[in-house]
Amino acid sequence: MIDPHIPQSTRRDGNAHHYDYEPTSPHFIEQAVQVYLRLSEDGSRWIIDGPSVDGRPLDSALSDHTAQRGECACNSPEECERAASYADQLPLPTAAELVTLITDALD
């Protein structure tokens, strides 16, 4: 059965392409990661710098490094805070994992 409160997806990972800002939608919890670039040795292009591909989780790009829920349209702040707290326990993706996440989001 299709839940009318969950946006229908066309992405490979089963999620909606964009948050729809409806109170009945799943919580909108955000995080961002940094991918460090450096100029290639021949000076012609950007390449991924070593610290971003060392197998460890990527660094958060957010100033306090915690998941953000400021744009969530829900009417249940306690539940939203629990979702954000849970999100903060999840490791951020490694570069290899990020490749898969990007690929899954492109469909």
Closer residue to Zn ion in complex, CB, 49/79: 79
- Shortest distance (Å) from residue 80 CB to Zn ion: 3
Query: Which residues form the interface with Zn ion (CB under 5 A)?
Result: 27, 72, 74, 80
Closer residue to Zn ion in complex, CB, 24/103: 24
Torsion of CA 72, 78, 84, 87, to 10 degrees: -130
Q: How far apart are CA 28 and CA 72, in angstroms?
A: 5
> And the tokens for 47?
């390449």
- Shortest distance (Å) from residue 96 CB to Zn ion: 30
Closer residue to Zn ion in complex, CB, 88/107: 88
- Measured at the CA of 81, the angle between CA 2 and CA 91, to 5 degrees, comes to 85
- Shortest distance (Å) from residue 40 CB to Zn ion: 42
Closer residue to Zn ion in complex, CB, 72/95: 72
User: What residues contact 104, with CB distance under 8 A and at least 6 apart?
Assistant: 11, 12, 13
The closest residue (CB) to Zn ion is 80
Q: How far apart are CA 83 and CA 59, in angstroms?
A: 21
- Shortest distance (Å) from residue 18 CB to Zn ion: 16
